[in-house]
Amino acid sequence: MNDRLVLQATCGRQDGAAERYRAMASGIRMLMSFAKTLAAYRTGILAYYDYRISTGPLEGTNNKIIPGSV
């Protein structure tokens, strides 16, 4: 197995199937888990680059609210 990981373009494919296949074929458990997680959140991750909105400020506000203080 080649220890060096190389990111390659999928020649116009937009679903990332080639990258997931390479991760699964690598046999590296942590890489396989990461590929599955990335595939599950792919739509949301890519949507950020289309619309540039985030729930970060809302999450920050929620973290300031102490449960039971209301």
Distance CA 11, CA 54 (A): 30
Burial of 28 (0-12, 13-18, 19+ CB in 10 A): middle
* pLDDT tens-digit series, residues 19-57: 777 888 888 999 999 999 998 999 999 999 999 988 889
Of 7 and 65, which is predicted with more confidence? 65
Distance CA 63, CA 65 (A): 5
Structure-block tokens of residue 32: 């396989």
Q: Is the pTM of this model over 0.85?
A: no
Residue 69 has pLDDT above 70, yes or no: no
| Angle value at C-alpha 9, between 8 and 12, nearest 5 degrees | 160
Distance CA 63, CA 33 (A): 29
